[in-house]
């Protein structure tokens, strides 16, 4: 449980605190926010991603799925870079303040991107055999 909580905090805090972006591309109006939400709120693409990545974070944790092999995801969402997903989350955060009437829509899209980023973090840790090191350091109080 500690592991899942830590991954969640990393995913939630890192995009908003550390991403460097061109602020001129940020939405400034309700219309820009709604246009972005219309483009990014793609239930078909989301289902395609979920089918290609069922329980992806758990799949990469050693001992739960020792035979798991990280794979290339060629879905519409899977081909997006982490940088692009982080930028979208930052823009969604701006839209949450600009267009409070559609707050739930922006939050729903953001939660989906949060899942995708969490899957990517877990995939990275698994690819580089860092789960055991991560868990050992965490057990020793490394936060």
For tokens 């020793």, what's the residue?
140
pLDDT attached to residue 19: 44
> Residue ranges of the alpha helices (H) in 19-70?
30-40, 43-52, 56-59
**pLDDT(24) > 80:** no
The Cα–Cα gap between 118 and 116 comes to 5
Q: Are residues 85 and 113 in contact, defined by beta-carbon separation less than 8 angstroms?
A: yes
Q: Residue range 86-97: average pLDDT?
A: 96
The set of residues, in sequence order, having a beta carbon less than 8 Å from that of 42 and lying 6+ positions away, is 76
**Predicted TM-score (pTM) above 0.85:** no
Q: What does the domain layout of the chain look like in residue ranges?
A: 14-65+73-139
Higher per-residue confidence, 18 vs 45: 45
**pLDDT(74) > 90:** no
pLDDT attached to residue 111: 96
pLDDT attached to residue 86: 96
Q: Are residues 111 and 103 in contact, defined by beta-carbon separation less than 8 angstroms?
A: no
CA geometry: angle at 34 spanning 48 and 111, to 5°? 45
Q: What is the pLDDT of residues 49-59, one digit of tens each?
A: 988 887 765 66
The set of residues, in sequence order, having a beta carbon less than 8 Å from that of 109 and lying 6+ positions away, is 37, 40, 41, 88, 92
């Amino acid at each position: 449980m500690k592991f899942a909580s830590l991954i969640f905090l990393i995913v939630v805090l890192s995009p908003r605190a550390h991403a460097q972006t061109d602020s001129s591309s940020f939405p400034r109006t309700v219309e820009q926010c709604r246009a972005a939400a219309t483009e990014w709120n793609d239930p078909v693409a989301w289902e395609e991603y979920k089918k290609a990545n069922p329980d992806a974070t758990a799949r990469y944790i050693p001992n739960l799925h020792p035979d798991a092999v990280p794979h290339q995801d060629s879905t519409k969402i899977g081909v997006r870079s982490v940088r692009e997903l982080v930028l979208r989350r930052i823009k969604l955060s701006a839209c949450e303040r600009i267009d409070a009437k559609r707050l739930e829509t922006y939050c729903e899209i953001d939660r989906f991107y949060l899942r995708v980023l969490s899957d990517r973090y877990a995939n990275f840790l698994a690819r580089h055999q860092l789960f055991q090191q991560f868990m050992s350091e965490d057990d020793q109080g490394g936060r």
